[in-house]
Structure 1
């Protein structure tokens, strides 16, 4: 047996040493977000925004991922991660990795961003630094606007320690009874119904070079803390300390025991509002040991659950300052362009007789001419996806609209269009995924509203989340029925479509239409379709199809041909997919992966993954699109859709991936992948040990930011 084959036989590609830990990989992603807050090349308020995103991401990480690990520990489950770490080991390493990052977060805000904001007229002050006039104003404001809302809660034998809700900001207060000299403990919750930051009027703001400041004010909790006497009259305030807790907020829903999924989720949401077990305690570093010990005992937490910070607690609220009118401190505004083929679409709201005299084509004519590909936020979501549904709602020849909704906005124009369609006598069916984490309440609201106007609403499948992004419009055309489909990578949310990069395909291809019909029958009825003509559907065909596509590249190498795979996604976790990618790399297939967040694959390992390169792009837009390219000996196949290479996407969700059948669109997608792979501004290269190194342009190499290049390309295509 040749040596290489013998070596290949001896290597176990499932060995845990070849896999990175999922939780630590996610922390590496959030570390890249934190870097954007520290990068002086990023506009100042955008840096503050990234700091808020880092903090918000961390909250969700504790509420879901840390919560799951703690549950495993408590249940004495010794389940090993793919890298063979136990739940206890993961919790210890999360804590060790996070503590210096949390310290860096607060140091960046207090010592860098806060002073720089002040230089630009944004003064986030501490109460003790206010002038007497400023204090007088805030004291009066407190008396009139804050005091009636705040409730002090005593803690003593007659008043047990109060339940502290998830993510709430609180004051631990120690007061002394002057008559008995007894020290008493109380908790004051900082109300979430009030602004987190209190602005002073312009005439009381700090002057910058003779000009009024852009904003001057203090955190709400400090205004409360310096007026505690009003909450405890007759008592002597000894000390107060701010703290914040994070609780388990994942739904513990047993679907198979729920007769009514809507009712069951509503009941679970009531539990989430207050939260499950406490997971994390955030306190100031100068908090006395006695106070910390008391909080730990009452919250049933351990020392390892405490995160001490210097400065303002809860920096996710810094997003408040993004509304300030200082464009010079933000990214240049971006206005998505209308796709060139959609610039002369007729108004869908016009009466039929008016449409005949208005210039331009209708939306369906554009799709019949040629498949339409859109790239958000570079190209407008509203003028494409929203208008497609609006057009269908008002077109007299449209008979039915079918759609999946995973996340949508609170003022969704798509919802309004679906309601209009129902009122116009069209058959409308919508699958609303109630189990979309942290969007359940919003989805329940929309589901009920849709039902009230006669729309057929389905609440997803037991045991499966519906994560696919599909719309089908059924239209009567002369002597036939035509099906128009939209298959996308992102949610039907016009707000996040301005911030997330996503792709969408519009087509009236008969095989795609038939496949999407079968998917909707699977979602709404009892269909157990096992095969599809073109699309890949999870959990039915997608995993096997992806594995076969990877295997084909391996076989091409064995046959003396070339092999090439490029894939872009949010997360790469699935061990079986990773194992096959390792096999492809060992065979000689060249593999480039663009993975924004979690990546459990270790690139660059000798004899394992030497032909695999992984980058992550973190920029002003959240990379959310999924693209899968397979060289296929020059007969390239390229796919887009809703699924990442994760177990949950491939096995526990309904996902749809579509092949790109139009050669011009396939070339566009290859160009997008090429631009991203060449990024030397926002791209980070994954190292074999799981760390990332950010690419930087060299002295003679110009900066190449993929997102800026795509923005420029969109503008140029619009001009042409």
Structure 2
């Protein structure tokens, strides 16, 4: 991308949020060319990049589009750009990313062919292969394609979100019209032709390009163009809480269904056929800047499953070595996990540790007669959730089970609505969040009664109660029997039930009321140390940093001499290394085998260190518009483990990129031993 494009997104110590998001996705794309990753894993990174870009358009570009209509003069509070100016810059940046993706794909395609996987274009087929491909198209593809001819007697159609279409410029009896061929989601993406050990694969798109015109019997096909539209998915989830006669789940079902009809924010085409392109842009009422060309594919999901075309002995060396999350001996062999937690806090670091102990603890709680209630917040669940099953089991066993399930978890709404119904059928009390705040907290509260004594077990984590993602995302978890945290947890669920955000907890920092102020107070503590001649230190890890108040506070601390290390995987709107402003701040991003997802906020050093784990990033949406929790790490041994995790990540010089004062991310220098933090944790359990 040009220097002009980059400079428009930077203002003093601030980086535009959308631009920073695209830089993160660029770092994902770069993993597809990182030779330290096995070949098939590099193919997956290309697919992940494309999926990320799709979501970016549906959510972020959709949001900017809405803002440009509702308040055209509104400006980003950091870079002072209007939504329209941001959209212009986004389109310029994305066009460069499309070009980079094409280069990455052709390099991967060339390398795959060395291992016997050939992804063929139609023009690369031999006459014999072409005839076989034609048979495949006529037999397996054509029956599942839907056709329409657009003319005076046929209404214009509604192009579905993220669905491929082939358009043809047709002629019959001197009349010209447009033919539309809709792809079916049931179709395979790759079709194998020929025999032998080599996998010769022809993509669905190539079959349609080569033979699709034959479907329009009686017409002469001139120009043709494959296309896909991306629709705005950023709909309003606010509701009128005084409307007690309507079920929020029914409201959400209608809102989710409305996505298919929202405005188009992107058009993708495979060739610049000016007549068809102009026809579609006019039909969609879309500006040409939102049209992007990729001559091969619009989505690269098929790159995720190429291993099935190779025998195991050939595919295994091309993938990451398999691993299974560990279970500590004292947990694996414990006769009672409840008693284990009563004795000491339990720490789990996913995916290096298994989620099994937490699941087993919930199962024990579902059966233990001392347990009177289990309360949990749910944001995203696995499609086959053992945790949901155990909550149902606990309710059926007479426990009071309360589930705060977030129906507004973007793209997981339907899954959450399904589980809300199942849990309710089992007798669980279901709460759909709090007022117009998303409940993003990750907490389980278990209350036990032993005679007259009330005891608590509380789980606090940085990630979802999702067995699938716990094997792919790095998250930190603490299970504790601390009484004050237990009382806070019980109070938290009471407040959720009565929609009360104005509450101060003993140990927990809870957004939107006390999380930001609590963290700000700890930054102030480090500032005072530095001003007094001491050593102020801040070490934080998060997914994103966009909250201007927190950015300005970090800058203030930097000016006071506080040394600040930030590990930020994704969006970072703070520019480090600016003289006399942020020159005491270092920012690195790690993109690797696992998705870095844990949030840690640590202040001070040694015995003076205060550490919190949290469900919240330092984004305005988290600190001001969601219900989030930051929990103190009370056990010194656990705090030391977390400190070690962060220090090893700061030493990473394989997967880490540092954010430089010019807004670019550059590879961290390798001065001595190479360290890949994620590989280190796989080989050296904490």
Following superposition, the deviation at residue 617 of structure 1 comes to 0.6
In the alignment, which of 287, 290, 301 is matched to residue 305 of structure 1?
290
Where does residue 653 of structure 1 map in the other structure?
A: 626
Where does residue 161 of structure 2 map in the other structure?
A: 166
In 2, Cα distance between equivalents of 1:423 and 1:216: 54
Where does residue 267 of structure 2 map in the other structure?
A: 281
State yes or no: 1:334 paired with 2:308: no
Q: For residues 185-241 of structure 1, what are the alpha-carbon distances to aligned partners after superposition, in whole Å with 9 as ceiling and x for unaligned?
A: 1111111122222234xxx24x4xxxx12x332222332343435532222233422
Q: Is the 8 A contact 1:398 1:473 kept in 2?
A: yes
Q: 1:176 to 1:275 in 2, by over 3 A?
A: same
State yes or no: 1:221 paired with 2:192: no
1:321-470 alignment runs, 5 A limit: 321=306, 325=312, 326-345=315-334, 361-381=335-355, 383-470=356-443
In 2, Cα distance between equivalents of 1:659 and 1:321: 44
State yes or no: 1:233 paired with 2:228: no
Where does residue 179 of structure 2 map in the other structure?
A: 186
Following superposition, the deviation at residue 634 of structure 1 comes to 4.2
Q: For residues 565-600 of structure 1, what are the alpha-carbon distances to aligned partners after superposition, in whole Å with 9 as ceiling and x for unaligned?
A: 000000011111111111111111110000111111
Q: 1:396 to 1:139 in 2, by over 3 A?
A: farther
In the alignment, which of 141, 147, 156 is matched to residue 142 of structure 2?
147
Q: Is the 8 A contact 2:223 2:273 kept in 1?
A: no
In 1, Cα distance between equivalents of 2:170 and 2:191: 26
State yes or no: 1:20 paired with 2:6: no
Where does residue 195 of structure 1 map in the other structure?
A: 188
In 2, Cα distance between equivalents of 1:641 and 1:254: 25
Secondary structure at the counterpart of residue 147 of structure 1: helix
Q: For residues 2-46 of structure 1, what are the alpha-carbon distances to aligned partners after superposition, in whole Å with 9 as ceiling and x for unaligned?
A: xxxxxxxxxxxxx95221111101111111111101222221111
In 1, Cα distance between equivalents of 2:71 and 2:431: 38
Q: Is the 8 A contact 2:237 2:408 kept in 1?
A: no
Following superposition, the deviation at residue 90 of structure 1 comes to 1.0
Q: Is the 8 A contact 1:283 1:306 kept in 2?
A: yes
Q: 1:633 to 1:495 in 2, by over 3 A?
A: closer
Following superposition, the deviation at residue 311 of structure 1 comes to 2.3
Following superposition, the deviation at residue 136 of structure 1 comes to 4.6
CA RMSD of aligned residues (A): 1.8
In 1, Cα distance between equivalents of 2:606 and 2:108: 52
Gaps of 5+ in 2: 1-9
In 2, Cα distance between equivalents of 1:633 and 1:568: 18
In the alignment, which of 563, 569, 591 is matched to residue 596 of structure 1?
569
Gaps of 5+ in 1: 1-14, 346-360
Q: Is the 8 A contact 1:553 1:632 kept in 2?
A: no
In 2, Cα distance between equivalents of 1:659 and 1:686: 29
Where does residue 7 of structure 1 map in the other structure?
A: none
Secondary structure at the counterpart of residue 148 of structure 2: strand
Secondary structure at the counterpart of residue 599 of structure 1: coil
Give the length in aligned residue pairs. Answer: 669
In 1, Cα distance between equivalents of 2:423 and 2:91: 45
Secondary structure at the counterpart of residue 191 of structure 2: strand
Q: Is the 8 A contact 1:51 1:315 kept in 2?
A: yes
State yes or no: 1:630 paired with 2:591: no
Moved more, 590-599 or 252-261: 252-261
In 2, Cα distance between equivalents of 1:567 and 1:652: 21
Where does residue 6 of structure 2 map in the other structure?
A: none
In the alignment, which of 241, 249, 255 is matched to residue 268 of structure 1?
255
Q: Is the 8 A contact 1:107 1:310 kept in 2?
A: no
Secondary structure at the counterpart of residue 256 of structure 1: coil
In 1, Cα distance between equivalents of 2:298 and 2:281: 18
Moved more, 391-400 or 669-678: 391-400
In 2, Cα distance between equivalents of 1:252 and 1:307: 27
Following superposition, the deviation at residue 327 of structure 1 comes to 1.3
Q: For residues 672-694 of structure 1, what are the alpha-carbon distances to aligned partners after superposition, in whole Å with 9 as ceiling and x for unaligned?
A: 11101111011111112221101
Where does residue 357 of structure 1 map in the other structure?
A: none
In 1, Cα distance between equivalents of 2:328 and 2:655: 26
Q: For residues 485-518 of structure 1, what are the alpha-carbon distances to aligned partners after superposition, in whole Å with 9 as ceiling and x for unaligned?
A: 1000001111111110000000010000000111
Where does residue 3 of structure 2 map in the other structure?
A: none
Q: Is the 8 A contact 1:570 1:623 kept in 2?
A: yes
Q: For residues 543-563 of structure 1, what are the alpha-carbon distances to aligned partners after superposition, in whole Å with 9 as ceiling and x for unaligned?
A: 111110100111112222220
State yes or no: 1:120 paired with 2:105: no
Moved more, 513-522 or 98-107: 98-107
Q: Is the 8 A contact 1:339 1:380 kept in 2?
A: no
Where does residue 707 of structure 1 map in the other structure?
A: 678
In 2, Cα distance between equivalents of 1:364 and 1:43: 42
Secondary structure at the counterpart of residue 311 of structure 1: coil
Following superposition, the deviation at residue 244 of structure 1 comes to 1.4
Moved more, 69-78 or 598-607: 69-78
Q: For residues 430-472 of structure 1, what are the alpha-carbon distances to aligned partners after superposition, in whole Å with 9 as ceiling and x for unaligned?
A: 0110000110010000001111111111111121000000011
Where does residue 296 of structure 1 map in the other structure?
A: 281
Where does residue 102 of structure 1 map in the other structure?
A: 98
Secondary structure at the counterpart of residue 663 of structure 2: coil
In 1, Cα distance between equivalents of 2:137 and 2:92: 40
Secondary structure at the counterpart of residue 148 of structure 1: helix
Where does residue 90 of structure 1 map in the other structure?
A: 86
Q: Give TM-score scaled by structure 2 length.
A: 0.94
Q: 1:229 to 1:567 in 2, by over 3 A?
A: closer
Where does residue 350 of structure 1 map in the other structure?
A: none
State yes or no: 1:75 paired with 2:70: yes
Moved more, 439-448 or 469-478: 469-478
Secondary structure at the counterpart of residue 280 of structure 2: helix
State yes or no: 1:688 paired with 2:649: no
Q: 1:453 to 1:96 in 2, by over 3 A?
A: same
Secondary structure at the counterpart of residue 438 of structure 1: coil
Following superposition, the deviation at residue 86 of structure 1 comes to 1.6
In 2, Cα distance between equivalents of 1:596 and 1:532: 30
Q: For residues 576-627 of structure 1, what are the alpha-carbon distances to aligned partners after superposition, in whole Å with 9 as ceiling and x for unaligned?
A: 1111111111111110000111111111111111111111111000000011
Q: Is the 8 A contact 1:616 1:684 kept in 2?
A: yes
Q: Is the 8 A contact 1:405 1:433 kept in 2?
A: yes
In the alignment, which of 535, 546, 562 is matched to residue 562 of structure 1?
535
Q: Is the 8 A contact 2:372 2:447 kept in 1?
A: yes
Q: Is the 8 A contact 2:566 2:587 kept in 1?
A: yes
Q: Is the 8 A contact 1:552 1:632 kept in 2?
A: no
In the alignment, which of 160, 170, 175 is matched to residue 175 of structure 1?
170
Q: For residues 394-413 of structure 1, what are the alpha-carbon distances to aligned partners after superposition, in whole Å with 9 as ceiling and x for unaligned?
A: 22332211101000111011
In 2, Cα distance between equivalents of 1:95 and 1:544: 37
Q: Is the 8 A contact 1:470 1:487 kept in 2?
A: yes
Q: Is the 8 A contact 2:501 2:512 kept in 1?
A: no
